[in-house]
Amino acid sequence: MKMSNTSSVLEFKSSTFFTPILILFSNEIAAIEQTLQDKISLAPDFFKNSPLIIDVRELNKSALEVNVAEIVDMLRMIGLFPIGLRGGNEQQNKQAQKLSIPVDAGRDIENNLAVQEQNQQKAPDKHSAESTAVEDVGTQEKTAETAVSKTLDATEKSAPQAVPVRAMIIAQPVRSGQRIYAQGDLVVMSQVSAGAEIMAEGNIHVYNTLRGRALAGVQGNTSARIFCLDLQAELVSIAGDYKTSEHMTKQLQKKPVQVYLQDHALIIKEIA
Amino acid sequence: MARIIVVTSGKGGVGKTTTSAAIAMGLARRGFKTAVIDFDVGLRNLDLIMGCERRVVYDFINVINGEASLNQALIRDKNCNLLYILPASQTRDKDALTLEGVGRILEELSKDFKYIVCDSPAGIEKGANLALYYADDAFVVTNPEVSSVRDSDRMLGILASKSRRAELDEEPIKEYLLLTRYDPNRVRSGEMLGLDDVQDILSLQLLGIIPESKSVLTASNAGIPVILDEKSEAGQAYEDVVARYLGEDRPHRFIDDKKGFFRKLFGGRS
């Protein structure tokens, strides 16, 4: 990312960071603390000063009383940095905000991606001060994300992030044997050679010839799409459903197309 | 500081060593002190093409291991006194090469030479990776057929990701295309890929097209770089390549069959 020339004093950026989410199933502070201490003793360096988002949805579902202040105090005591609250009710959210902890309103996150995205876009504006802090601490954790989700968060597949994922833009040709993986959308400005593989959790755009393999929605996003200006692909796939070049209509070869899923069928359609 | 050129392709038998010998000779004849290094440890060939096989005493591996000095191992070419050859070892294999050792030798050569040409072995293993690692420029040698083009494409991916310049996030290696063993007749009849087909996939700056020519084999067998055969089309094509690399603007030749009707009729071939 290059510095913008609008201001030399500050600039606003949006980034994605991996943060562990602590899902609570019990409201007994002592029990939580004991379990956490046990986990931390397994990997003390990893947890040292780790930012954390507290998820109290399960507690509220089972109508268990939560004292947010108490939990936050306890977490800080054992060397963790709670930086957000998720799934709290009105009273809990107020408590959190008093402690300068951002709140994610989190309306039914798993079922409604659109709502989630809207919330995420709002979040940085409301709490810009805190989000800077997240950036600083969060980067260190990036590489260890998988480990965290295993130890802390086994029930949840992909943790919703605090900020939407940026698109990855590739300007160089993607050569045979190269692999590219984007966590959001992937935009390739140059050609993708036969024997190359491009993958994205979101959409894929290729503004040139696509000869290699393109796999969109690799984490299961069935609404992901592939767009390319010149289809000569070896294979295209959306969320695991794929077609090889052998099974693509000849008329679509070398045409600008989009690829998407409709009623579990992979559709390749010319962009008129 | 020397400019380090790697001559590479992925695929074997496309003309890497012929090209290395020709361009090293071409650069030296233009007055630049040039060294050409054979990275094909275990399958030493460059000395044969350069006609110095009977003068090999020490080799690249001896220098890396500190068993000989660089000056002891470098062989001065008999046709051009600004050209030196560093032969590969025939008795060792690629594992004898080390990143640190190669770097040390290239650095030492850089003090004294203007150009260093690294003749890469085929494949994408250690020898090839070390030959390209320190490069500033890459000559990608490709034959007009699908598997050679695919392998060159793969090599370009490696040049873009596994070189020192890529690792240090410096300006990337400058990549040039050399299309060798090109036969306009066979392109026209559809037996061979044309320049456009190759460029469709590789889209590189074209340094030259080397036509298929008997003079290449003759020169190799005689141990004289083909660029010295000024009458041959291949020799002239390599001369053009060197000129273009040094910034001269020369129109591309040998793309189309320019033979006259009568020569074609009577089957004249160069």
Query: A190: nearest CA in chain B?
Result: B203
Average pLDDT of chain B to the nearest whole number = 93
Q: CB-CB: which of A177, A178, A193 is closest to B201? A: A193
Alpha-carbon span B177 to B142, nearest angstrom:
7
Distance from CA of B263 to the nearest CA of A (A): 40
Give me the residues paired with residue A165 across strands.
Answer: none
* Pairwise CB contact (< 8 Å): A194 & B154: no
Nearest by CB to residue A176, choosing from B150, B161, B203, is B150
Spell out which residues of chain A touch residue B148, defining contact as CB-CB under 8 Å.
none
Phi-psi region of B173 (alpha: psi -120 to 50; beta: other; left: phi over 0): beta
pLDDT, tens digit, 9 for 90 and up, residues B39-52: 999 999 999 999 99
On chain B, the residues whose CB falls within 8 A of the CB of A193 are 153, 157, 201
What are the beta bridge partners of residue B174? B137
Which token pair is B190? Answer: 């559809």
Which chain B positions have a beta carbon within 8 Å of A191's beta carbon? 201, 203
Helix A113-126 and helix A128-141, axial crossing angle in degrees, nearest 10:
110
Averaged pLDDT, groups of 10, chain A, 272 residues long: 56 72 87 86 76 86 85 87 87 87 62 40 39 34 38 43 79 94 96 96 97 95 97 96 92 95 95 86
Range of weakest confidence among A54-63, B16-25, B59-68, B89-98: A54-63
Ramachandran angles phi, psi of A224, nearest 5°: -70, 155
Distance in Å, alpha carbon of A196 to nearest chain B alpha carbon: 9
Any residues with CB less than 8 A from the CB of A191 and at least 6 apart, and which?
A173, A174, A206, A208, A209, A210, A211, B201, B203
Tell me which residue in A172, A175, A209 faces B153 most closely, judged by beta carbons: A175
**Dihedral in degrees, nearest 10, Cα atoms B122, B125, B128, B134:** 170
Torsion, CA B193, CA B195, CA B198, CA B200, rounded to 10: -120
**Sequential DSSP letters for B47-70:** HHHTT-GGG--S-HHHHHTTSS-H
pLDDT of residue A150: 38
- Where does the pLDDT of residue B261 fall: very low under 50, low under 70, confident under 90, or very high at 90 and above? low
Least confident span in A104-118, B122-136, B159-173: A104-118
Rounded to 5°, angle at Cα A239 from A171 and A228: 35
The residue among B203, B201, B211 whose CA lies nearest residue B233 is: B211
Sequence-separated (6 or more) residues with CB below 8 Å from residue B196? none
Separation CA A80–CA A75 (nearest Å): 5
CB neighbours of B155 closer than 8 A, spacing ≥ 6? B8, B9, B10, B124, B128, B140
| Nearest CB neighbour to A177, from listed B157, B200, B201 | B157
Each residue of B179-215: b (16+ CB within 10 Å) or e?
bbbbbbebbeeeebbbbeebbebbbbebbbbbbbbeb
Q: Do A176 and B160 touch (CB under 8 A)?
A: no
Q: Whose structure tokens read 């390209």?
A: B132
pTM of structure = 0.66
Q: Could you tell me which chain B residue has the CA closest to the CA of A193? A: B201
**Cβ pair B241, B180 in contact under 8 A:** no
Chain B contacts of A174, Cβ < 8 Å? 157
Distance from CA of B203 to the nearest CA of A (A): 9
Residue A35's pLDDT is what? Answer: 87
Nearest chain B Cα distance for residue A178, angstroms: 6
Alpha helices of A15-112 — where are they, by DSSP H? 29-42, 44-47, 57-61, 68-77, 90-98
Q: Does B143 have pLDDT greater than 90?
A: yes
Residue B19 confidence (pLDDT) above 70? yes
Of A191, A195, A211, Cβ closest to residue B154: A195
Backbone angles phi, psi at B95, to 5 degrees: -65, -20
The pLDDT of residue B257 = 65
- Is A191 in Cβ contact with B153 (below 8 Å)? no
Taking the CB of residue A58, how many other CB atoms lie within 10 A of it?
A: 14
Contacts of residue A180 in chain B, CB cutoff 8 Å? none
DSSP B206: E
* Helices of type H across B95-205: 99-112, 126-133, 146-161, 164-167, 184-188, 195-202
Residue B259 has pLDDT above 90, yes or no: no
Long-range CB contact pairs, A200-208, < 8 A, 24+: A200/A168, A200/A224, A201/A165, A202/A165, A202/A167, A203/A227, A204/A228
Query: Which residues of chain B neighbour A175 with C-beta distances below 8 Å?
Result: 153-154, 156-157, 160
Q: How far apart are CA A4 and CA A1, in angstroms?
A: 9
State residue B258's pLDDT score: 58
Give residue ranges of A with CB < 8 Å to any B CB.
172-178, 191, 193-196, 209, 211
Q: Give the pLDDT score at A66.
A: 83
Pair type for strands A257-262 and A226-231: antiparallel
Provide the H-helix boundaries in chain B. Answer: 16-29, 46-49, 60-64, 70-73, 99-112, 126-133, 146-161, 164-167, 184-188, 195-202, 214-222, 233-245, 261-265
pLDDT in tens, B173-204: 999 999 999 999 999 999 999 999 999 999 99
Q: What is the pLDDT, as a whole number, of residue A115?
A: 37
pLDDT value of position B205: 95
- CB contact under 8 Å between B154 and A211, yes or no, is no
Mutation target to probe the B interface, by most B beta carbons within 10 A, among A193, A198, A229, A234 is A193
CB distance A173–B158 less than 8 Å? Answer: no
- CA gap B238, B57 in Å, rounded: 30
